[in-house]
Amino acid sequence: MTNKAEPYDIWFYLTYLWKEINDPLIRCRIDFDGPVDEDALKRAVTLSLNTVPVIGCSFECHSRGPRWVNKNFTGEDIVRVIESGIDLESRVIQCFTVGITVETEPLLRIYILRRAGGDTLCAVISHIVCDGAGFKQYLYLLSDIYTELKNGREPPAQSYYRRGIKPLFAGVSLKEKIKIQRSRSYINAYSYSNMKYQRGVDFRDGGAEAYMLRRTLSKESFYRIKRFAKMRNATINDSLMALFARAFCKNTGAESIELPSTMDLRKFVPQGVKYGVSNYTSNCVCDISVQPNDTLGQTITRVSEQMRVHKSGKDILKSVLDWNLTVSLTPYRLLKRIYEDNTIHPIVSFTNFGIINSELLNFDNTAINSIYITVSIKPRPYLLLSASTFNDACTLSSNIYGSRNDKIFIDKLFDDICSEISSLTDY
Protein backbone atom coordinates (compact mmCIF):
# COMPACT_ATOMS: atom_id res chain seq x y z
CA MET A 1 0.00 0.00 0.00
CA THR A 2 1.26 3.44 -0.97
CA ASN A 3 -0.97 6.38 -0.15
CA LYS A 4 -0.55 10.08 -0.61
CA ALA A 5 -0.13 11.92 2.67
CA GLU A 6 -2.83 14.24 3.93
CA PRO A 7 -1.90 17.93 4.38
CA TYR A 8 -2.06 17.59 8.18
CA ASP A 9 0.30 14.60 7.94
CA ILE A 10 2.80 16.76 6.08
CA TRP A 11 2.48 19.52 8.67
CA PHE A 12 3.34 17.21 11.54
CA TYR A 13 6.09 15.54 9.52
CA LEU A 14 7.67 18.96 9.11
CA THR A 15 7.64 19.38 12.88
CA TYR A 16 10.35 16.71 12.93
CA LEU A 17 12.64 19.37 11.44
CA TRP A 18 12.44 21.00 14.87
CA LYS A 19 12.35 17.89 17.05
CA GLU A 20 15.14 19.26 19.22
CA ILE A 21 12.57 21.88 20.29
CA ASN A 22 9.26 20.12 19.67
CA ASP A 23 9.59 16.37 20.17
CA PRO A 24 6.49 15.40 18.11
CA LEU A 25 5.33 12.38 20.11
CA ILE A 26 2.32 11.74 22.34
CA ARG A 27 2.71 9.46 25.33
CA CYS A 28 0.34 7.51 27.56
CA ARG A 29 1.08 5.68 30.80
CA ILE A 30 -1.34 3.14 32.28
CA ASP A 31 -0.67 1.50 35.66
CA PHE A 32 -2.67 -1.72 35.87
CA ASP A 33 -3.60 -3.64 39.00
CA GLY A 34 -2.85 -6.89 37.23
CA PRO A 35 -0.86 -8.43 34.37
CA VAL A 36 -1.21 -7.61 30.68
CA ASP A 37 -1.43 -10.55 28.26
CA GLU A 38 1.36 -9.71 25.83
CA ASP A 39 0.22 -12.20 23.16
CA ALA A 40 -3.34 -10.85 23.18
CA LEU A 41 -2.04 -7.28 23.06
CA LYS A 42 0.26 -8.02 20.13
CA ARG A 43 -2.60 -9.58 18.19
CA ALA A 44 -4.92 -6.70 19.14
CA VAL A 45 -2.39 -4.21 17.77
CA THR A 46 -2.10 -6.18 14.53
CA LEU A 47 -5.90 -6.23 14.10
CA SER A 48 -6.13 -2.51 14.92
CA LEU A 49 -4.03 -1.76 11.84
CA ASN A 50 -7.09 -2.54 9.72
CA THR A 51 -8.66 0.61 11.19
CA VAL A 52 -5.47 2.69 11.50
CA PRO A 53 -3.21 1.29 8.76
CA VAL A 54 -0.80 4.24 8.86
CA ILE A 55 0.62 2.85 12.12
CA GLY A 56 1.93 -0.09 10.08
CA CYS A 57 3.50 2.21 7.51
CA SER A 58 6.55 4.38 7.28
CA PHE A 59 6.32 8.01 6.25
CA GLU A 60 8.65 8.46 3.32
CA CYS A 61 9.55 11.66 1.56
CA HIS A 62 10.26 11.76 -2.16
CA SER A 63 10.64 14.54 -4.70
CA ARG A 64 6.92 14.35 -5.44
CA GLY A 65 6.12 14.73 -1.76
CA PRO A 66 5.67 12.60 1.37
CA ARG A 67 3.64 9.40 1.22
CA TRP A 68 2.66 6.47 3.39
CA VAL A 69 4.40 3.21 2.46
CA ASN A 70 3.20 -0.06 3.99
CA LYS A 71 6.02 -1.91 5.69
CA ASN A 72 3.80 -4.75 6.96
CA PHE A 73 4.59 -4.00 10.58
CA THR A 74 2.57 -6.00 13.12
CA GLY A 75 2.05 -6.11 16.85
CA GLU A 76 5.24 -8.17 17.10
CA ASP A 77 7.18 -5.13 15.88
CA ILE A 78 5.33 -2.67 18.11
CA VAL A 79 4.87 -4.36 21.52
CA ARG A 80 7.87 -5.01 23.74
CA VAL A 81 8.03 -6.54 27.23
CA ILE A 82 10.58 -5.27 29.76
CA GLU A 83 11.18 -6.12 33.39
CA SER A 84 10.66 -2.93 35.36
CA GLY A 85 13.29 -3.73 37.98
CA ILE A 86 13.37 -1.89 41.28
CA ASP A 87 13.18 1.58 39.73
CA LEU A 88 9.95 1.71 37.75
CA GLU A 89 10.07 5.49 37.20
CA SER A 90 13.50 5.31 35.56
CA ARG A 91 12.23 2.55 33.27
CA VAL A 92 9.24 4.68 32.29
CA ILE A 93 11.51 7.60 31.40
CA GLN A 94 13.72 5.26 29.34
CA CYS A 95 10.68 4.08 27.37
CA PHE A 96 9.31 7.58 26.89
CA THR A 97 12.60 9.10 25.74
CA VAL A 98 13.17 6.64 22.89
CA GLY A 99 12.35 8.44 19.67
CA ILE A 100 10.60 7.15 16.54
CA THR A 101 12.32 7.28 13.16
CA VAL A 102 9.22 7.78 11.04
CA GLU A 103 10.91 6.86 7.76
CA THR A 104 11.83 3.33 8.87
CA GLU A 105 9.95 2.38 12.07
CA PRO A 106 6.33 1.79 13.12
CA LEU A 107 4.72 5.03 14.27
CA LEU A 108 3.60 3.42 17.53
CA ARG A 109 5.62 1.86 20.36
CA ILE A 110 4.09 -0.02 23.29
CA TYR A 111 6.11 -1.19 26.26
CA ILE A 112 4.78 -3.57 28.90
CA LEU A 113 6.78 -3.05 32.08
CA ARG A 114 6.51 -6.16 34.21
CA ARG A 115 6.26 -5.48 37.93
CA ALA A 116 4.97 -7.26 41.02
CA GLY A 117 1.24 -6.83 41.52
CA GLY A 118 0.51 -5.44 38.08
CA ASP A 119 2.02 -4.14 34.85
CA THR A 120 2.65 -0.64 33.57
CA LEU A 121 1.93 0.07 29.92
CA CYS A 122 3.80 2.89 28.19
CA ALA A 123 2.54 3.82 24.71
CA VAL A 124 4.20 6.36 22.41
CA ILE A 125 2.69 7.45 19.10
CA SER A 126 3.90 9.86 16.43
CA HIS A 127 1.96 13.10 16.13
CA ILE A 128 1.81 12.45 12.38
CA VAL A 129 -0.76 9.75 13.12
CA CYS A 130 -3.02 11.70 15.46
CA ASP A 131 -3.50 14.31 18.14
CA GLY A 132 -4.33 13.58 21.78
CA ALA A 133 -8.04 13.01 21.16
CA GLY A 134 -7.16 10.71 18.27
CA PHE A 135 -4.81 8.79 20.55
CA LYS A 136 -7.65 8.24 23.02
CA GLN A 137 -9.80 7.06 20.12
CA TYR A 138 -7.08 4.54 19.19
CA LEU A 139 -6.62 3.32 22.77
CA TYR A 140 -10.37 2.70 23.07
CA LEU A 141 -10.23 0.67 19.85
CA LEU A 142 -7.23 -1.32 21.09
CA SER A 143 -8.94 -1.97 24.41
CA ASP A 144 -12.09 -3.29 22.67
CA ILE A 145 -10.12 -5.69 20.47
CA TYR A 146 -7.99 -6.90 23.40
CA THR A 147 -11.10 -7.57 25.50
CA GLU A 148 -12.73 -9.58 22.71
CA LEU A 149 -9.60 -11.70 22.27
CA LYS A 150 -9.28 -12.33 26.02
CA ASN A 151 -12.86 -13.60 26.10
CA GLY A 152 -12.23 -16.06 23.30
CA ARG A 153 -14.21 -14.12 20.73
CA GLU A 154 -13.04 -13.14 17.28
CA PRO A 155 -13.31 -9.33 17.11
CA PRO A 156 -15.65 -8.03 14.42
CA ALA A 157 -14.06 -6.81 11.22
CA GLN A 158 -12.49 -3.43 11.84
CA SER A 159 -13.73 -0.57 9.70
CA TYR A 160 -11.43 1.98 8.10
CA TYR A 161 -12.58 5.58 8.09
CA ARG A 162 -10.82 8.10 5.93
CA ARG A 163 -8.42 10.51 7.53
CA GLY A 164 -8.12 14.10 6.37
CA ILE A 165 -10.23 17.24 6.68
CA LYS A 166 -13.40 16.25 4.81
CA PRO A 167 -15.32 15.28 7.98
CA LEU A 168 -14.56 18.72 9.48
CA PHE A 169 -16.23 20.46 6.56
CA ALA A 170 -19.05 18.02 5.89
CA GLY A 171 -21.48 20.55 7.35
CA VAL A 172 -19.81 23.66 5.91
CA SER A 173 -21.08 25.11 2.64
CA LEU A 174 -18.81 26.48 -0.07
CA LYS A 175 -20.02 29.98 0.79
CA GLU A 176 -19.04 29.45 4.43
CA LYS A 177 -15.62 28.13 3.41
CA ILE A 178 -14.96 31.23 1.35
CA LYS A 179 -16.05 33.42 4.25
CA ILE A 180 -13.75 31.55 6.63
CA GLN A 181 -10.87 31.77 4.17
CA ARG A 182 -11.33 35.54 3.85
CA SER A 183 -11.62 36.10 7.59
CA ARG A 184 -8.98 38.05 9.45
CA SER A 185 -5.68 36.35 10.14
CA TYR A 186 -6.24 33.93 12.99
CA ILE A 187 -3.59 33.15 15.60
CA ASN A 188 -3.17 29.43 15.19
CA ALA A 189 -0.82 26.50 15.06
CA TYR A 190 0.73 27.68 11.81
CA SER A 191 1.93 31.10 12.94
CA TYR A 192 3.17 32.35 16.25
CA SER A 193 4.74 35.51 14.91
CA ASN A 194 3.11 37.52 17.68
CA MET A 195 4.90 35.34 20.22
CA LYS A 196 8.42 35.99 18.99
CA TYR A 197 9.03 38.43 21.81
CA GLN A 198 6.90 36.69 24.40
CA ARG A 199 7.05 38.30 27.81
CA GLY A 200 7.96 36.69 31.10
CA VAL A 201 10.19 33.91 29.83
CA ASP A 202 12.46 32.51 32.51
CA PHE A 203 15.62 31.48 30.67
CA ARG A 204 17.48 29.00 32.82
CA ASP A 205 20.73 27.15 32.33
CA GLY A 206 19.14 24.05 30.93
CA GLY A 207 20.74 20.61 30.92
CA ALA A 208 20.70 17.22 29.27
CA GLU A 209 18.84 15.20 31.90
CA ALA A 210 15.25 14.11 31.17
CA TYR A 211 12.62 14.79 33.80
CA MET A 212 9.00 13.65 33.47
CA LEU A 213 7.17 15.60 36.14
CA ARG A 214 3.55 15.22 37.13
CA ARG A 215 1.12 16.10 39.85
CA THR A 216 -2.38 14.65 40.26
CA LEU A 217 -5.24 16.77 41.53
CA SER A 218 -7.43 14.60 43.74
CA LYS A 219 -11.11 14.11 43.02
CA GLU A 220 -11.90 16.58 45.81
CA SER A 221 -9.57 19.25 44.37
CA PHE A 222 -10.86 18.65 40.85
CA TYR A 223 -14.48 19.10 41.92
CA ARG A 224 -13.55 22.19 43.94
CA ILE A 225 -11.98 24.05 41.01
CA LYS A 226 -14.68 22.79 38.65
CA ARG A 227 -17.43 24.24 40.87
CA PHE A 228 -15.46 27.46 41.27
CA ALA A 229 -15.22 27.80 37.48
CA LYS A 230 -18.87 26.95 36.88
CA MET A 231 -19.99 29.74 39.22
CA ARG A 232 -18.14 32.13 36.89
CA ASN A 233 -19.57 30.64 33.70
CA ALA A 234 -16.14 29.21 32.90
CA THR A 235 -14.80 25.75 32.11
CA ILE A 236 -12.29 23.57 33.91
CA ASN A 237 -9.93 24.23 30.99
CA ASP A 238 -10.22 27.99 31.56
CA SER A 239 -9.41 27.44 35.22
CA LEU A 240 -6.35 25.27 34.57
CA MET A 241 -4.99 27.85 32.12
CA ALA A 242 -5.59 30.62 34.68
CA LEU A 243 -3.90 28.62 37.45
CA PHE A 244 -0.91 27.90 35.21
CA ALA A 245 -0.61 31.56 34.17
CA ARG A 246 -0.78 32.73 37.79
CA ALA A 247 1.85 30.24 38.98
CA PHE A 248 4.13 31.08 36.06
CA CYS A 249 3.87 34.84 36.58
CA LYS A 250 4.36 34.48 40.33
CA ASN A 251 7.59 32.53 39.86
CA THR A 252 9.05 34.64 37.04
CA GLY A 253 7.94 38.12 38.03
CA ALA A 254 6.04 38.52 34.77
CA GLU A 255 2.84 40.56 34.69
CA SER A 256 1.33 38.71 31.76
CA ILE A 257 1.80 35.70 29.54
CA GLU A 258 0.65 34.85 26.03
CA LEU A 259 -0.45 31.26 26.49
CA PRO A 260 -1.35 29.02 23.54
CA SER A 261 -3.90 26.28 24.14
CA THR A 262 -5.00 23.48 21.82
CA MET A 263 -8.61 23.31 20.66
CA ASP A 264 -10.30 20.11 19.50
CA LEU A 265 -12.01 20.73 16.15
CA ARG A 266 -14.12 17.57 16.27
CA LYS A 267 -17.11 19.61 17.42
CA PHE A 268 -17.41 20.78 13.82
CA VAL A 269 -17.90 17.21 12.51
CA PRO A 270 -21.67 16.75 11.91
CA GLN A 271 -23.37 14.05 13.92
CA GLY A 272 -23.27 10.70 12.17
CA VAL A 273 -20.24 11.53 10.02
CA LYS A 274 -17.52 8.94 10.58
CA TYR A 275 -13.89 9.97 10.80
CA GLY A 276 -10.62 8.16 11.29
CA VAL A 277 -7.85 8.49 13.84
CA SER A 278 -6.20 11.73 12.79
CA ASN A 279 -5.19 15.26 13.76
CA TYR A 280 -8.15 17.58 14.27
CA THR A 281 -6.79 20.35 16.47
CA SER A 282 -5.74 23.94 16.16
CA ASN A 283 -4.35 26.42 18.65
CA CYS A 284 -5.64 29.65 20.10
CA VAL A 285 -3.68 32.12 22.20
CA CYS A 286 -4.83 33.92 25.33
CA ASP A 287 -3.07 37.07 26.51
CA ILE A 288 -3.40 36.68 30.27
CA SER A 289 -2.44 39.54 32.56
CA VAL A 290 -1.77 38.74 36.22
CA GLN A 291 -1.42 41.65 38.62
CA PRO A 292 -0.19 41.07 42.20
CA ASN A 293 -3.61 41.74 43.75
CA ASP A 294 -5.69 39.88 41.16
CA THR A 295 -7.87 37.08 42.50
CA LEU A 296 -8.10 33.68 40.87
CA GLY A 297 -11.67 34.47 39.91
CA GLN A 298 -10.57 37.57 38.00
CA THR A 299 -7.90 35.65 36.09
CA ILE A 300 -10.33 32.87 35.21
CA THR A 301 -12.81 35.44 33.91
CA ARG A 302 -10.14 36.99 31.66
CA VAL A 303 -9.27 33.59 30.22
CA SER A 304 -12.90 32.57 29.84
CA GLU A 305 -13.84 35.72 27.93
CA GLN A 306 -11.04 35.20 25.42
CA MET A 307 -11.70 31.47 25.03
CA ARG A 308 -15.37 32.18 24.42
CA VAL A 309 -14.42 34.41 21.49
CA HIS A 310 -12.10 31.73 20.08
CA LYS A 311 -14.83 29.10 20.33
CA SER A 312 -17.53 31.21 18.72
CA GLY A 313 -18.01 30.80 15.00
CA LYS A 314 -15.80 28.82 12.65
CA ASP A 315 -12.85 31.17 12.10
CA ILE A 316 -10.52 28.74 13.84
CA LEU A 317 -10.98 26.45 10.82
CA LYS A 318 -9.16 29.03 8.69
CA SER A 319 -5.79 27.53 9.61
CA VAL A 320 -6.89 24.14 8.27
CA LEU A 321 -8.19 25.60 5.01
CA ASP A 322 -5.10 27.77 4.56
CA TRP A 323 -2.68 24.89 5.02
CA ASN A 324 -4.65 22.55 2.73
CA LEU A 325 -4.71 25.21 0.03
CA THR A 326 -1.00 25.82 0.48
CA VAL A 327 -0.21 22.11 0.14
CA SER A 328 -2.36 21.77 -2.98
CA LEU A 329 -0.61 24.69 -4.73
CA THR A 330 3.00 24.36 -3.53
CA PRO A 331 5.74 21.85 -4.38
CA TYR A 332 6.95 19.99 -1.33
CA ARG A 333 10.46 21.45 -1.47
CA LEU A 334 8.89 24.90 -0.96
CA LEU A 335 6.56 23.72 1.82
CA LYS A 336 9.58 23.17 4.05
CA ARG A 337 10.63 26.78 3.55
CA ILE A 338 7.10 28.04 4.20
CA TYR A 339 6.98 26.04 7.42
CA GLU A 340 10.34 27.34 8.60
CA ASP A 341 9.51 30.96 7.72
CA ASN A 342 6.08 31.00 9.35
CA THR A 343 6.36 28.82 12.42
CA ILE A 344 7.61 30.07 15.74
CA HIS A 345 7.37 27.58 18.57
CA PRO A 346 5.94 29.18 21.72
CA ILE A 347 8.17 29.20 24.76
CA VAL A 348 5.32 28.39 27.15
CA SER A 349 2.16 26.49 26.16
CA PHE A 350 -0.72 24.41 27.50
CA THR A 351 -2.76 21.47 26.26
CA ASN A 352 -5.66 19.60 27.80
CA PHE A 353 -6.46 16.07 26.62
CA GLY A 354 -9.75 16.10 28.51
CA ILE A 355 -11.42 13.09 30.05
CA ILE A 356 -10.18 9.54 29.46
CA ASN A 357 -13.35 7.43 29.54
CA SER A 358 -12.95 4.59 32.03
CA GLU A 359 -15.83 2.65 30.43
CA LEU A 360 -14.29 2.78 26.96
CA LEU A 361 -10.78 2.03 28.19
CA ASN A 362 -11.41 -1.45 29.53
CA PHE A 363 -8.67 -3.98 28.96
CA ASP A 364 -10.72 -7.05 29.86
CA ASN A 365 -11.78 -5.44 33.15
CA THR A 366 -8.20 -5.28 34.39
CA ALA A 367 -8.35 -2.58 37.05
CA ILE A 368 -6.47 0.62 36.21
CA ASN A 369 -4.86 2.39 39.15
CA SER A 370 -3.89 5.48 37.19
CA ILE A 371 -3.51 6.76 33.65
CA TYR A 372 -2.44 9.97 32.04
CA ILE A 373 -1.55 11.29 28.59
CA THR A 374 1.35 13.64 28.05
CA VAL A 375 3.26 15.06 25.11
CA SER A 376 6.63 16.54 24.19
CA ILE A 377 9.83 16.44 26.18
CA LYS A 378 10.91 20.06 25.84
CA PRO A 379 14.43 21.44 26.26
CA ARG A 380 14.41 24.35 28.69
CA PRO A 381 13.53 27.19 28.51
CA TYR A 382 10.58 25.71 26.55
CA LEU A 383 7.79 24.64 28.85
CA LEU A 384 4.59 22.75 28.02
CA LEU A 385 2.01 21.86 30.64
CA SER A 386 -0.48 19.14 29.75
CA ALA A 387 -3.55 17.89 31.57
CA SER A 388 -5.67 14.74 31.37
CA THR A 389 -8.47 13.48 33.58
CA PHE A 390 -9.36 9.92 34.58
CA ASN A 391 -11.97 8.92 37.17
CA ASP A 392 -12.32 12.58 38.19
CA ALA A 393 -8.62 12.92 39.05
CA CYS A 394 -6.71 15.40 36.88
CA THR A 395 -3.03 14.79 36.18
CA LEU A 396 -0.83 17.75 35.28
CA SER A 397 2.43 16.85 33.58
CA SER A 398 5.45 18.56 32.09
CA ASN A 399 8.42 16.82 30.47
CA ILE A 400 11.76 18.54 30.10
CA TYR A 401 15.40 18.14 29.26
CA GLY A 402 16.93 20.43 31.83
CA SER A 403 18.84 20.91 35.02
CA ARG A 404 17.97 20.13 38.60
CA ASN A 405 17.01 23.79 39.01
CA ASP A 406 14.56 23.47 36.11
CA LYS A 407 12.93 20.52 37.86
CA ILE A 408 12.64 22.53 41.08
CA PHE A 409 11.10 25.42 39.14
CA ILE A 410 8.38 23.22 37.60
CA ASP A 411 7.69 21.44 40.88
CA LYS A 412 7.16 24.90 42.39
CA LEU A 413 4.60 25.68 39.66
CA PHE A 414 2.74 22.51 40.58
CA ASP A 415 2.94 23.40 44.29
CA ASP A 416 1.45 26.84 43.67
CA ILE A 417 -1.35 25.49 41.47
CA CYS A 418 -2.32 22.90 44.09
CA SER A 419 -2.01 25.43 46.92
CA GLU A 420 -4.31 27.90 45.18
CA ILE A 421 -6.95 25.22 44.66
CA SER A 422 -6.66 24.11 48.29
CA SER A 423 -7.26 27.69 49.42
CA LEU A 424 -10.77 27.63 47.91
CA THR A 425 -12.27 26.49 51.20
CA ASP A 426 -15.79 27.63 50.32
CA TYR A 427 -16.02 25.44 47.25
- What pLDDT is recorded for position 61? 80
Rounded mean pLDDT of the chain?
89
What lies within 8 Å, CB to CB, of 3 at 6+ separation is: 57, 67, 68
| pLDDT band at residue 94 using 50, 70 and 90 as cut-offs | very high
- The tens digit of pLDDT for each residue in 359-413 reads 999 999 999 999 999 989 998 889 999 999 999 999 999 999 999 999 999 999 9
- What pLDDT is recorded for position 192? 40
Please, what is the angle between helix 332-342 and helix 7-14, to 10°? 60
Closest CA to 359 of 157, 159, 147, 215: 147
Bridge-based pairing state of the strands 377-379 and 393-402: parallel
- What pLDDT is recorded for position 196? 41
Kindly report the backbone phi and psi dihedral angles of residue 155, in degrees, each rounded to the nearest multiple of 5, phi listed first.
-60, 145
Closest CA to 52 of 273, 276, 266, 363: 276
- The tens digit of pLDDT for each residue in 211-262 reads 999 999 999 999 999 999 999 999 999 999 999 999 999 999 999 999 999 9
- The tens digit of pLDDT for each residue in 164-215 reads 889 999 989 989 998 988 876 544 443 444 444 343 344 444 457 899 999 9
| pLDDT band at residue 344 using 50, 70 and 90 as cut-offs | confident
Distance (Å, whole) CA 85 – CA 95: 13
- What pLDDT is recorded for position 342? 76
The proportion of the chain whose per-residue pLDDT surpasses 70, expressed as a percent, equals: 93
Closest CA to 200 of 243, 260, 239, 245: 245
| pLDDT band at residue 419 using 50, 70 and 90 as cut-offs | very high
Q: Please tell me whether residue 299 adopts helix, strand or coil conformation.
A: helix
- What pLDDT is recorded for position 185? 52
| pLDDT band at residue 82 using 50, 70 and 90 as cut-offs | very high
**Adjacent-strand bridge partners of 126:** 25
For 134, half-sphere exposure in the C-beta direction (CA atoms, 13 angstrom radius) is 25
- What pLDDT is recorded for position 195? 40
Distance (Å, whole) CA 92 – CA 109: 13
Q: What is the mean pLDDT of residues 339-363?
A: 90
First to last CA, the chain: 56
List the Cα angle 319/323/329 in 5-degree steps: 150
| pLDDT band at residue 92 using 50, 70 and 90 as cut-offs | very high
- Please tell me the chain's helix, strand, coil percentages from 3-state DSSP, rounded to the nearest 5: 40, 25, 35
- The tens digit of pLDDT for each residue in 31-80 reads 999 999 999 999 999 999 999 999 999 988 876 778 899 999 999 999 99
- The tens digit of pLDDT for each residue in 295-336 reads 999 999 999 999 999 888 888 898 899 889 898 888 888 888
Distance (Å, whole) CA 125 – CA 305: 34
- What pLDDT is recorded for position 199? 37
Over the range 156-170, which residues count as b (16 or more CB within 10 Å of their CB) and which as e?
eeeeeeebbbebbbe
- What pLDDT is recorded for position 411? 97
Ordered structural domains, the chain, with CATH? 2-150 (3.30.559.10), 171-356+376-422 (3.30.559.30)
- What pLDDT is recorded for position 90? 94
- What pLDDT is recorded for position 63? 64
Q: Taking 70 as the threshold, does the pLDDT of residue 415 lie above it?
A: yes
Task: Pick the more confident residue, 340 or 252.
Answer: 252
- What pLDDT is recorded for position 59? 87
- What pLDDT is recorded for position 15? 86
